[in-house]
Structure 1
Amino acid sequence: MRWPRRLSIRVRLTAGTLIIAAVFFAGTAVVVHRQVESILRSSSVMLLQGDAAQYQQEISDGRTSNLDTPAQGQLVAVIDPAGKVMQSSLPGELEPQLPTLAAGGTAVQDVRTPAAQYLVLARPVTTNEGVWQVVTARNEAASKLSLDNLTRALLWGLVILTLLFGVGSWLLASAALRPVTAMRRTAERLRGSSSVELLPVGPAHDELYYLATTLNELIGQLRASADREKQLVSDASHELRTPLAILQTQLELAHLSTGDPAALLGEIESAERTVQRLSALAASLLELTRIEGMTSHEATGYAELADELVDAIDRARLLSSDSDVVVDYEIVDAGLLPGVAALSGVAVVPGAAGMPGVAASPGTPAMSGASAMSGAAATSGAAAVSGGVAESTGSTLPVASPPRTTPSGDPAPQSIVEPPGDAAPAVASVRDEAYDLSRRSFGRVIDNLLGNAVVAVSSVPAPGRRGEADSLGVGGRERDASIERDAAGTAAVVRDATLARDAAGTVRATLRRGPDAVTLEITDTGPGMSPDFIPLAFDRFAREDESRGGSRPGSRGAGLGLSIVQALVSSAGGTVTMTNRRPRGLSVVVTIPSSTGTPAAAGSPPATVSHPANHSRPAPPPAASSQDNTA
C-alpha cells in the first residue's frame, strides 16, 4: 500500500475525511433505521394488544353469544374452546393458518404471505367453558413503506453530507497548505537568485509558523556558511599569493645566482622555508576542516586532562628555560589524581636526612626527565604536587636538577613546601567525569594558548634588555598552526621559544573542575590584545597587525591557531572567551561541559595542585596591546 503515499497531502486529507464521514454517517443511518423500525413495531404490537383487549373483556364478561363486529381495518378472530371460529375479519390468506396461529402462544408472530406481511398476536382467555383464543393481526405494508422511505432519505443524506464534508475538507486543506505553497514558491525564487529574501512567516503561531522560522534559521546558517567559505577561499588565496610570489622571486634569484654557490645556497634555503610555510598553512587548513567535520568524539577523564596539562607545562617550561618567562600552573580538585604525573615538570633536589625536599625552580631542562618518571616510577601514591615538590605517602625518587639563575646571574629563589602539620595529604573522594575532547586535542589547545602567551610575554623585555629584545623583532602571539607532539611541532615550538628568549613575565595555567564543566584559564603578563581585535581573534587568518589597527607589524603566523582552538573546543560543546586583564595581560578561558554529568561527591573539599612562579623580579613595564591569532 505505497500508492497512497504518492498522493498529495491535500488529496490524502480529503480522502481521509471522506472515509471518516462515510463511516460516521453510515453508522448513524443504521442506528436511526433500527430505532425507527423498533418504534414502528412497538406501535403495531400496542395496537394489536388494544384490538384483543376489547374481545378479551367481552369473553370474560360472558357475552360470548353477542360479540361486537370488528371495526373497519381491524383484523380479529375469536375461537371458542371447541375450536369453532366465532368471529373473524382476517383476510382469506390467513384463514387457513388460524389454528396454527392460535397455538403459537402469546409471542408476536411475523407471518409472510404472497400478498403481504402481517404481525399476529394470540391471546388466550380462560372461562368456565374452557379456553378461548383471540387472534389479532396487522398488515405491515404501511410500516414497511415508512421504513423504505426513511432508508432512501438516509442514503441520500449520507451521500450529500459526505460530499459536503469532502468539499469542506478540500477547501480547508487548501487554506491550511497555502502558506506551504507560498514558502515553496519563495524557495524556488531563492534557488534561482542571490536574493536575501526569507521564507514568509504567518501571523499565527502554529506548526507552519515554527516550520518557517526553523527553515529561515537554517537558510541564515547556510548563507553564513557559504559566506564563510567564500571568505575562506578569499583569505586562503590572499595568504597563498604572498608566499608564492616570494617563492617565485627566490627561484628567479636562484637562476641569477648560478655563478655564486653561496648565494645560490642561500636562495634555495630561503625557498625551502617558504615551502615549509606553505605546507604548514595547507596542513592547518586541512586540520581545521577535519575538526569541523568530526561527528564522533573521544571521551577523556578529568585525570587525563590534568595529566596532559602537566605535560604541556613541561614542554612550555623546557622551551622557555633560557628566558625569564615563568610558566606555572594550578590544578583544582587534584584529589582525582593519585599518581598523575607526580613529578611531571618537577625536579626534586633531596634535602638532608629529616629535611624536606627542595624543588628546583620550574622550567629547568631536568624537568622533562622528571616528567618521564611520573607515576609509580617516581612516587608511590602521590596525592598532590605543590610548588615543585612531590608529596606522597611512599618514597620519593630523587632527581638531580641544576640550579636556575636569574638574568643577573644570582641563584633563583627556591620554594620549599611541607605538608600542613603531621597530617597526610588529603585525597578528595570524588568520581572522575568524561569530556568530549581527546587528550591529544586538549593538549593541542593548551600548547597553542601557552605558546601564544609565552611569545606575548616575550614582547615585554626584561629590565636592561629592552634593546636586545627589540633587536630580535619580537612581537605578538606567534605560533605555528600545526603544532603537534612530533618533530614538526617541536620545531615550531623551538622557534617561538627563540623569540621568547631574554623576555620577562609570567604565564599561568589553571585547570578547574566544576559541577558540570571543566575550565582551563591561561593568563599572562604580556601586552594584552587590542579591544577592537578581540571579536576578530578567532577568525581564520586573523592577525593583529597594522592592517587591523595593531601597534606593531604583522607576525609570521598564518592566523589559524585560535581558529583551530575554537574549532576543537566547539566540537566538544565548549566555549572560548578572551578578555584583557588589568593593569596588563590577557586571560583566555576555555570551558568544556561534562558529557557524563556525574557530580562530584558532596562533602569533599577540592584538593589543589599549585605551582607558583619561583622567580623574583620587578614587574614588567606596561607595553602596547598587540596579540595575534596564530597557531
Structure 2
Amino acid sequence: MRLLRRLSIRWRITIGSLVIALLLSAVAVVAFRAQVEHILSTTTTTLLHHDAAPYVTEIQTASGTIDDPGTGQLVAVVNPAGRVVVSSLPDRLESRLPTLTALTGDAHTVVASDDTYRVFTKTVTTATGDWHVVSARNQDSAILSLDRITEALVTVALLLVSGFGVASWLLTGAALRPVNRMRQQAEALVAQGSTEPLPIGPATDELSALATTLNEFISEVRQSVDRERQLVSDASHELRTPLAILMTQLELAHLSTGDAQALEAEITSAQHSVARLSALATGLLELSQIEAKTPEGVSTWDELAVEVAAAADRARLLAAPKGVTVDFDVAGEPTEAVYRIAVANFGRIVGNLTSNAISAVPNGGSVRIALRHAKSNLILTVVDSGPGMPDDFLPVAFDRFSRPDDARAKRDGGSGLGLAIVHAIVSRAHGEITLANGAGFTVTVSLPTIA
C-alpha cells in the first residue's frame, strides 16, 4: 500500500485497471474452457451411445449375428458366459474388460498407459443372461485440442489485457491533462502574484466543477485575508488617535501631581479614552466574528418579539439621562415563521440602532421601535426625532468608522462601527437594511423567513 501511495494517480489507475482486467480475463478463460470441455464431454458421450446402439439392438432382436465394428469404432461385446464375441478395443483396454463391464451409469474416464479414454458400458438383459456392450473413445486428441484452445485463449487474453493497460494509461493521461493544465495555470498565477481566478473550461464536467469549487474556496480565503488586513489597518488607524490622546492625558496627569483637582480631571479624561479604546476593540472583534461566517442560528417570531421588548427596556436605561422617550410596538398575529438569525444577533441589531438613535436625538426627543411581519418577511423599524443624516453620507453609512460629523475628533464620539455591525448581521441573515431621512430618521430592516 505504501508503494502504491508513492505512485502517481495515472500509475495507480493503470495498475488497478490491469489487475481488474487480469482477474476478469482469468475468469473468462476458465469459464470458456469449462464450457468447451463440457461440450466435448457431452458430444463424446453421445457418440459412445451411438456406437453402442446397433449392438444393443442386435442383441435384443436375437438376430444371431453380430457385425464387426466399423473403422475407427472401439466396441466390444461380451456374452453372458464372459466370452468376448466382438472387440475392436486396443489390447490395453481389452485386457481390462472384466472391470469395464462392471461400470454402470454414464460414460467414465479410463486411463490406460499414456492414453485417456471415455468408456460407456451398456448391459442388455436377455433370456440367456446379461450381455455387455462396451464402447470407447480416445480422448487424447480432444484433450490436445482443448489445451490448444486454452493456450489461444490465454494469448488473446494477455493481448487484450496489454491493450487495455495501454488504453487505460492513455485515457488516464488524457483525463488528467486538464488537471495538470489547471495546476500549471495555478502555479503561473502564484508566480505572477495575480488574483485572477482559475480559468474554467467550456465543458460542464467534474473538472469544471472542481475549478468552480476551488475558485470559491480561494475567494473565501482571499476575503478572509482581506478582512484580517482591513481589521489590522482599521485598528492601527483608529487606535492611533485615542492612544495619542491617552498618552497626552497621562503626561498631563503626571505634570498635575501637585494639583489634586487637575489630576482628577486628567484621570477622568483618561478613563473616557480607555472606554473608547475598549469600545473600538469590542466593535472590531464583533465585526470580525460576524464576517467570519460562522454558522448562524435560527429564531421564531415569538423569540424575536420578546427580544425587542428586552432591547427597548435596555434602551430606556440608556435614554434616561437625556430624557428621551423609548416606545416599542409589536404588530401582527403570532406566526410559525422561522428566521435565519440568532436571538443574540437580533438583539445587537436593535441595541445598536436604538443606541445610535438616542445619541442623535436632542434632550427630550423620542425613539420608536416597531416589529411586524408581512407575507414572508419580518420588518423592524427604528424611528427617531433627531436631525437625520446628510444625504451625501447615506451611501457610506455602513462603512467601518464612518461618521456623519467630526466625531472622530471628539472624546465622546462613537466608534463608527454600529451600523457596520448591523449591516453585517443583516447580510448574514440574507436580509436588507435601508436608511431614510424624513420626519426624523428611519432605519428599516427586512429579514426573510426560512422556506
TM-score clears 0.5:
yes
CA distance in 2 between partners of 1:239 and 1:210 (Å): 42
Displacement of 1:92 in angstroms is: 0.6
Q: Contact (CA 8 Å) 1:110, 1:120: kept in 2 or not?
A: yes
Q: Contact (CA 8 Å) 1:574, 1:590: kept in 2 or not?
A: no
Over 3 Å counting, the alpha-carbon distance change for 1:451 and 1:546 in structure 2 is closer
**1:587 paired residue number:** 443
Kindly indicate whether residue 420 of structure 2 is the aligned counterpart of residue 563 of structure 1.
Answer: yes
Over 3 Å counting, the alpha-carbon distance change for 1:227 and 1:286 in structure 2 is closer
Secondary structure of the corresponding residue to residue 81 of structure 2: coil
AA matched with 1:511:
L
AA matched with 1:41:
S
Higher mean displacement: 5-14 or 45-54? 5-14
CA distance in 2 between partners of 1:30 and 1:196 (Å): 59
AA matched with 1:43:
T
Which segments of 5 or more consecutive residues in structure 2 lack a partner in the other structure? Answer: none
Kindly indicate whether residue 400 of structure 2 is the aligned counterpart of residue 543 of structure 1.
Answer: no
- Per-residue CA deviation, residues 214-268 of structure 1 (Å, 9 max, x unaligned), is 1101211222222232233223222223334444555677788889887777666
CA distance in 1 between partners of 2:370 and 2:252 (Å): 50
Q: How does 1:402-551 map to 2 (within 5 A)?
A: 437-439=342-344, 441-456=345-360, 458=361, 500-501=362-363, 506-512=366-372, 518-524=378-384, 526-529=386-389, 533-545=393-405
CA distance in 2 between partners of 1:211 and 1:524 (Å): 50
Displacement of 1:44 in angstroms is: 1.8
Secondary structure of the corresponding residue to residue 585 of structure 1: strand
Secondary structure of the corresponding residue to residue 51 of structure 1: helix
Secondary structure of the corresponding residue to residue 96 of structure 2: helix
Displacement of 1:296 in angstroms is: 7.1
AA matched with 2:90:
P
Q: Contact (CA 8 Å) 1:539, 1:563: kept in 2 or not?
A: yes
AA matched with 2:353:
L
Displacement of 1:155 in angstroms is: 1.9
CA distance in 1 between partners of 2:78 and 2:261 (Å): 149
Displacement of 1:539 in angstroms is: 2.8
Over 3 Å counting, the alpha-carbon distance change for 1:546 and 1:31 in structure 2 is same
**2:88 paired residue number:** 89
Q: How does 1:20-169 map to 2 (within 5 A)?
A: 20-60=20-60, 62-65=62-65, 67-105=66-104, 107-125=106-124, 129-169=128-168
- Per-residue CA deviation, residues 157-213 of structure 1 (Å, 9 max, x unaligned), is 222222322222222222222233233334444455521132232322122221210
Displacement of 1:117 in angstroms is: 0.6
Displacement of 1:448 in angstroms is: 1.4
- Per-residue CA deviation, residues 575-603 of structure 1 (Å, 9 max, x unaligned), is 35123266763222153757xx9xxxxxx
Displacement of 1:154 in angstroms is: 1.9
CA distance in 2 between partners of 1:260 and 1:115 (Å): 129
**1:578 paired residue number:** 434
Q: Contact (CA 8 Å) 2:301, 2:336: kept in 1 or not?
A: no
The number of residue pairs the alignment matches comes to 449
- Per-residue CA deviation, residues 282-319 of structure 1 (Å, 9 max, x unaligned), is 23323434555695778776555434423433444455
Q: Contact (CA 8 Å) 1:526, 1:586: kept in 2 or not?
A: no
Higher mean displacement: 269-278 or 235-244? 269-278
Over 3 Å counting, the alpha-carbon distance change for 1:110 and 1:314 in structure 2 is closer
**2:212 paired residue number:** 213
CA distance in 2 between partners of 1:77 and 1:511 (Å): 111
CA distance in 2 between partners of 1:264 and 1:61 (Å): 145
Higher mean displacement: 237-246 or 185-194? 185-194
Which segments of 5 or more consecutive residues in structure 1 lack a partner in the other structure? Answer: 335-427, 459-499, 548-552, 598-631
Displacement of 1:322 in angstroms is: 7.5
Q: Contact (CA 8 Å) 1:545, 1:555: kept in 2 or not?
A: no
Over 3 Å counting, the alpha-carbon distance change for 1:561 and 1:76 in structure 2 is same
Q: How does 1:287-436 map to 2 (within 5 A)?
A: 287-292=286-291, 302-303=301-302, 305-317=304-316, 320=319, 326-333=325-332
Displacement of 1:39 in angstroms is: 1.5
**1:395 paired residue number:** none
**1:621 paired residue number:** none
Over 3 Å counting, the alpha-carbon distance change for 1:531 and 1:58 in structure 2 is farther
Over 3 Å counting, the alpha-carbon distance change for 1:545 and 1:114 in structure 2 is farther
CA distance in 2 between partners of 1:326 and 1:287 (Å): 28
Q: Contact (CA 8 Å) 1:18, 1:162: kept in 2 or not?
A: yes
AA matched with 1:501:
N
Under a length normalisation based on structure 1, what TM-score does the superposition of the two structures give? 0.61
Return the structure number with greater relative CO, CA threshold 8 A, min gap 6: 1
**1:486 paired residue number:** none
Higher mean displacement: 532-541 or 215-224? 532-541
Secondary structure of the corresponding residue to residue 18 of structure 1: helix
Which has more helix, going by share of residues? Answer: 2
Displacement of 1:36 in angstroms is: 0.9
- Per-residue CA deviation, residues 80-115 of structure 1 (Å, 9 max, x unaligned), is 333221221110101111132223235212111112
